[in-house]
Amino acid sequence: MRHLTVCLMLASVAFAQPPGANYDEAKVPNYTLPELLKLNSGEAVKDAKTWREKRRPEVYSLLEQQMFGRAPGRPERMTFELTSMEPNALGGKAVRKEIAITTAGKTFSLLLYLPKGVKGPVPVFLGLNFQGNHAAAKEAGVKLAMTWPRASKGAEVVATQAAETSRGGAASRWSLDLILSKGYGVGTVYYGDIEPDYNGGMKHGVRPYYLKGKAEAADDWGAIAAWAWGLSRAMDYLETDKAVDSKKVALMGHSRLGKTSLWAGAADERFAIVISNDSGEGGAAISRRMFGENVKNLNTSFPHWFTGNYKQYNERVAEMPFDSHFLIALIAPRPVYVNSAQEDQWADPRGEFLGAVAASPVWRLYGKKGIETDKMPGIHQPVGDAVGYHVRAGKHDVTDYDWEQWIKFADRHFGRR
């Protein structure tokens, strides 16, 4: 009986993962990570000044050119319009606003909850969402989004008005009561408003405005960089809202949006904290481990996410001049939090942990502590200081447990209690 239970448990873990990938630690190849603290000239990086002035720009341009692509800066023309305001949202716990951000030929809506009865500008968690803003909260009043289906490769799809029944459909991922009770605001934007997530969806997003009929270059921005750019536009708004402490905005993203939060935090240093949940391949996980999803899987299933250049590494992962520790390190010296779910083997929890470990030396240059061990912690045992990490039980998701850790992390680094 015990044997049967163990077998069933293993089966359910295995079936939670797409088949055909390596899930065997013994089959992880030996690898050598590219050196983070060495300039392209070969010189060692021994202090924060050299990192900041010389090495960081090298690492940033490498990832920009090879992986995420060149994005435009802050648009010249942009408008913010308050489209709704509810002073007694969530049963009186919050003020709720919807702000239409219009730029680059698109309008995307920021849903913002701010805690009531809290003095002064408040820190805010900001993140993109998958299902439309109305899905983040279980309450009437939030405008129902026009949502895009995630289509398979090349298929043409259209946006449709979300159904009333989809309200609150993702509420378990946005622990609003908990976050607000700790004095934080929460802002979210539907990622499909910035660019629909399918190969070919680009024409409905912000990218064509900048391309203006030009062909895409091998280092032009992919969808992830476009979503990241959208987060910066939400930040542009937050800077204008007096109820928000824009110096204390913690960026959070799950999965593909966790890859996005890392790149958004790298590209825009106004984000004070960056959180990357279950971001896996192309996010926090070390690609060279070839565990779970790999570069080729990413580029095959989601050719629109990254640059054309990135595809050259499909069969040559060991030759990539970077790995995930380069991406994570770009957040330094700001605090960064990486976390995993035990059953999410496709995202390679150990690889995510090791990415955060390998990035940690950069924080040490600043006299800060990152993760000071390469021993993976057990379930529900957060580790690290300026670089934080935890693995929780369960599947690929965002849960209250994750939010509890991020709030503690933000409290610590924002000097709250």
Contact 331, 409 (CB under 8 A): no
152: phi then psi, degrees, rounded to nearest 5: -75, 170
Residue 56: strand, helix, or coil: helix
370 binds ligand GCU (CB under 6 A): no
Q: Is 204 tagged catalytic?
A: no
131 binds ligand GCU (CB under 6 A): no
Binding-site size for ligand GCU (CB under 6 A) equals 8
In the complex, the smallest distance separating the C-beta of residue 399 from ligand GCU, rounded to whole angstroms, is 15
Task: Give the binding range for ligand GCU (CB under 6 A) out of 49-57, 260-268, 293-301, 317-325.
Answer: 293-301
276 binds ligand GCU (CB under 6 A): no
323 binds ligand GCU (CB under 6 A): no
Q: Which is nearer to ligand GCU, 287 or 360 (CB)?
A: 287
Q: How far apart are the first and last CA of the chain?
A: 49
In the complex, the smallest distance separating the C-beta of residue 125 from ligand GCU, rounded to whole angstroms, is 19
Q: Which is nearer to ligand GCU, 198 or 363 (CB)?
A: 198
Residue 284: strand, helix, or coil: coil
280 binds ligand GCU (CB under 6 A): yes
Angle among Cα 196, 197, 199 to the nearest 5 degrees reads 105
Q: Cα–Cα distance between 72 and 100 in angstroms, integer?
A: 20
Among 281, 323, 348, 402, which residue interacts with ligand GCU (rule: CB under 6 A)? 281
Q: Which is nearer to ligand GCU, 132 or 280 (CB)?
A: 280
Q: Which of 132, 170, 136, 171 is nearest to 149 (CA)?
A: 132
256 binds ligand GCU (CB under 6 A): yes
Contact 241, 79 (CB under 8 A): no
Residues in region 341-360 near ligand GCU by CB under 6 A: 346
248 binds ligand GCU (CB under 6 A): no
Using CB atoms within 10 A of its CB, is residue 249 exposed (0-12), middle (13-18) or buried (19+)?
buried
Residue 147: strand, helix, or coil: strand
197 binds ligand GCU (CB under 6 A): no
Please, which residues bridge with residue 392 across strands? Answer: 341
Q: Is 255 tagged catalytic?
A: yes
Q: Cα–Cα distance between 328 and 313 in angstroms, integer?
A: 19
Q: Which is nearer to ligand GCU, 174 or 363 (CB)?
A: 174
Q: Which is nearer to ligand GCU, 142 or 298 (CB)?
A: 298
Region class of 249: left (phi > 0), else alpha (psi between -120 and 50), else beta: beta
In the complex, the smallest distance separating the C-beta of residue 130 from ligand GCU, rounded to whole angstroms, is 8
Run of H or E including 354: helix 349-359
Q: Which is nearer to ligand GCU, 175 or 345 (CB)?
A: 345
Q: Which residues of this protein are in contact with ligand GCU, per CB under 6 A?
A: 255-256, 280-281, 293, 298, 301, 346
Residues with catalytic roles:
255, 396
